[in-house]
Amino acid sequence: MPSAETNGSNGTNGHAPTVQFFNVIDGKPRIAEEYHQVIDPRTEEPLWDAPIATAKDLDDAVVAANRAFKTWRKSTTAERQKAVHDVADVILKNVDILTEVQMRETGKSRLMSKFDVERAAWHFEYYRTVALEDELQYEDDTVRIIATHAPIGVLGAISPWNFPLILSTVKVVSALATGNCVIIKPSPFTPYSLLKFCELAQSVLPPGVFQAVNGGAELGELMTLHRDIHHISFTGTIAVGQRILRNCAGTLKKVILELAGNNACIVCDDADLDAVVPQVAIGALFHAGQVCVASKRIYVHESLYDRFLEKLVEESKKFAVDDDQSVTFGPLSNKANYERALGFIEDCKKNGYKIVTGGDVRPKEAKGFWIPPTIVAKPPDDALLVREEQFAPIVPVMSWTEEDDVIARANLDNAGLGASVYTPDLDRAQRIARQLESGTVWINQFERPHHAGFFGGWKLSGFGGELGKQGLLHYCHTQSLQIAK
């Protein structure tokens, strides 16, 4: 197998080191017939050649996965835990190359990319000690009932571009830890990290257990329609999630849908603004707002509103633009998202909403998909920026006075992925949190999923879910053993 860094013929922008990327099928990197190139979001220069998988590549991967599954499904928990530990080790030994690749394809800072890579390794390490066990459900004189968990088969995993490694590795480790085999498709906007990771992981896994194929919607459709792929785990937009669900109906695949969120952040009148504003700023502006759980609608109690807004503007200035030193901020990761974001600013201007800082202020000739932190004061609840997930550093800040009213406004959105509440009164925080229609509510901290806590959306944010011990249940069939006495 070629090494991670090879002097191949792939094009680079002259700054990125030369690295080759392959689809990984049946334990081996496969030379592709066709390639595409992703644009570096900081410079708009083309990056490396990314191989495009064909329908035949996918079919070959499916055959290999089904073959591998016959053995992998019988592996013991201890064997699987050793394997996931070995994969963590592979990631940690290759932090430098994986960091470099992620930095280039997403526009994130080096520090943030490194953090992502290391976090991917933690996911694997976490499941080294966490597994589903048989559970005694019931027992009397006549019968003993035990719930067991069996792998479903070959998982088709489909990932988005915003965290190309973390969001993909959750799917991979959950599949492997439960005895499934996995074929994963990265987003064509960020194919490199995942392809390289899959290639590297082959050194510690049996062929066919973990494979990667790169392509766009067409390849994703083939995966969801394939008869010999048995379940799908998808992270992405609501519209694509709905389409995938329809496609999976034909073969009645089990589906996990991790979809968009338009997350409310509620700041109460007793909040300590010195402590809270920096948290809210990270929650809204981290990775330029391209985070599924980011604070996308901020509701601040009227009594604090003016002070909060002033401090948030001050805090937002710390998120540098066009500066490699910025740890938490960067450009938008691709042109499509950049243009969509400009549309939100245009709509705010057209409707006369007050843009307190930021906006589309960069010279037209400037390179890269940069939008500075942009804060919009008190747009109405039916503004486009409030109704739709912006996935950009453009943040609406509204005010509230009555608790019931702000809860109702937070719940107005049809998505229900994450929310946050800031108040030192933890009873009040929990009272509000429990009324929010949202899979996770963060209290007095900005939104970030923890590998030990179950994570999944409500309403249009999807169903199923991942992470924690409970997340593994969605990668399994539950089998009931009823044993006569």
283 counts as binding ligand NAD under rule CB under 6 A: no
Residue 84 C-alpha from the chain's centroid:
20
Interaction with ligand NAD in 380-419: which residues (CB under 6 A)?
A: 389, 391, 417
Nearer to ligand NAD, 370 or 391 (CB): 391
452 counts as binding ligand NAD under rule CB under 6 A: no
**Distance between first and last Cα of the chain:** 55
5 counts as binding ligand NAD under rule CB under 6 A: no
- Spatial contact of 415 and 260, defined as CB atoms under 8 Å apart: yes
Residue of 198, 292, 348, 476 marked active site: 292
Q: What is the 3-state secondary structure (H, E, C) of 182-247?
A: EEEECCCCCCHHHHHHHHHHHHHCCCCCEEECCCCHHHHHHHHHCCCCCEEEEECCHHHHHHHHHH
Q: Which residue has the tokens 């062929």?
A: 207
Q: Give the integer Cα–Cα distance in Å for 259 and 104.
A: 25
368 counts as binding ligand NAD under rule CB under 6 A: no
- Spatial contact of 422 and 432, defined as CB atoms under 8 Å apart: no
233 counts as binding ligand NAD under rule CB under 6 A: no
Residues contacting residue 431 through CB under 8 Å, at least 6 positions apart: none
167 counts as binding ligand NAD under rule CB under 6 A: yes
3-class DSSP assignment, residue 255: strand
Q: What region does 172 belong to: left with phi over 0, alpha with psi -120 to 50, or beta?
A: alpha
Residues contacting residue 59 through CB under 8 Å, at least 6 positions apart: none
Q: Which residue has the tokens 């928990």?
A: 77
Residue 303 neighbours by CB distance under 10 Å: 13
> Is 258 among the catalytic positions?
yes
Beta bridge partners of 183: 156, 211
Q: Give the integer Cα–Cα distance in Å for 161 and 276.
A: 29
Select from 38, 62, 158, 395 the one that contacts ligand NAD (CB under 6 A).
158
Nearer to ligand NAD, 147 or 225 (CB): 225
159 counts as binding ligand NAD under rule CB under 6 A: yes
Q: Give the integer Cα–Cα distance in Å for 259 and 242.
A: 10
Select from 165, 240, 255, 467 the one that contacts ligand NAD (CB under 6 A).
240
Query: Cα dihedral sign for 119, 125, 127, 130?
Result: negative
- Spatial contact of 102 and 163, defined as CB atoms under 8 Å apart: no
437 counts as binding ligand NAD under rule CB under 6 A: no
185 counts as binding ligand NAD under rule CB under 6 A: yes
Select from 21, 72, 127, 161 the one that contacts ligand NAD (CB under 6 A).
161
Nearer to ligand NAD, 243 or 254 (CB): 243
Which helix (H) or strand (E) segment is 82 a member of? helix 77-93
Nearer to ligand NAD, 167 or 175 (CB): 167
Smallest separation, CB 183 to ligand NAD (Å) = 13
243 counts as binding ligand NAD under rule CB under 6 A: yes
32 counts as binding ligand NAD under rule CB under 6 A: no
367 counts as binding ligand NAD under rule CB under 6 A: no
Smallest separation, CB 162 to ligand NAD (Å) = 5
Phi and psi, residue 66, nearest 5°:
-65, -35
359 counts as binding ligand NAD under rule CB under 6 A: no
Nearer to ligand NAD, 108 or 185 (CB): 185
CB-side exposure of 183: number of CA atoms within 13 Å? 36
Smallest separation, CB 49 to ligand NAD (Å) = 18
Nearer to ligand NAD, 368 or 439 (CB): 439
Nearer to ligand NAD, 58 or 321 (CB): 58
> Is 181 among the catalytic positions?
no
Read off the amino acid at residue 329. F
Residue 278 neighbours by CB distance under 10 Å: 15
Candidate segments 8-16, 214-222, 271-279, 348-356, binder of ligand NAD by CB under 6 A: 214-222
Residue of 105, 199, 258, 315 marked active site: 258
Candidate segments 100-108, 202-210, 237-245, 349-357, binder of ligand NAD by CB under 6 A: 237-245
Select from 160, 191, 289, 359 the one that contacts ligand NAD (CB under 6 A).
160
Smallest separation, CB 220 to ligand NAD (Å) = 2
Candidate segments 29-37, 118-126, 134-142, 229-237, binder of ligand NAD by CB under 6 A: 229-237
- Spatial contact of 276 and 443, defined as CB atoms under 8 Å apart: no
Residues assigned a catalytic role: 258, 292
Residues that bind ligand NAD (CB under 6 A): 158-162, 167, 185, 187-188, 216-217, 220-221, 224, 235-237, 240, 243-244, 258-261, 292, 389, 391, 417, 457
